[in-house]
Amino acid sequence: MAESRSVRCFFALGGNLGPVLDVFGSVLTDVLPSRGISVEHVSSFYRTRAVTLEGADVQPDYWNAVTQVSCRQSAQELLAELLAIEDQFGRTRTSRWGPRTLDLDLLGYGECVIESPALRVPHPRLGERAFVLAPLSEIAPGWVVPGIGVAVRTLWNRLDCASDDILEKRAAALGV
């Protein structure tokens, strides 16, 4: 059942196959609003090296971003929407951490901590990934991550990452 009030949520966008930045633009300006999800803030777009499993084939670099949205869907309904959007843009799930046209990860849903087989919020690896923390710290540095109790800015500052983790940063000129 949908929430009766608007909830502030964060999710990450990623991809490394096809016209990724065009896909991000379509998702943020057309698809989300058409599904009743209001885009409030969008980070810059960050190009990073692909994270792969040991022994996996080399992949193209990823593009990543984070958006803050407002929605009335429950967390489970929002997750279903995000998975449907991935499918709409040709996402196939052949291997963990494999290449993809679009990846949408729910990072935070209001102030909720959710632990279920289908959904974990906040995202369990949120504090370990430069490609999530860099864009998230750009749009919500003071957000205290539920269940962790630490602000995003602090998590980013604590992250021990190499200077080459972020290969490129582009402003998101979407008008949102």
Active site residues: 91, 100, 103, 105
How far is residue 176's CA from residue 172's CA, in Å, rounded to a whole number?
A: 9
Burial-class residue 154 by CB neighbours within 10 Å (0-12, 13-18, 19+): middle
CA dist list (Å): 3 to 7, 8, 119, 129 = 8, 12, 17, 30
| Residue corresponding to tokens 């309904």 | 77
Phi and psi, residue 40, nearest 5°? -105, -40
Distances (CA, A) of 45 to 9, 29, 51, 121, 139: 18, 15, 17, 23, 12
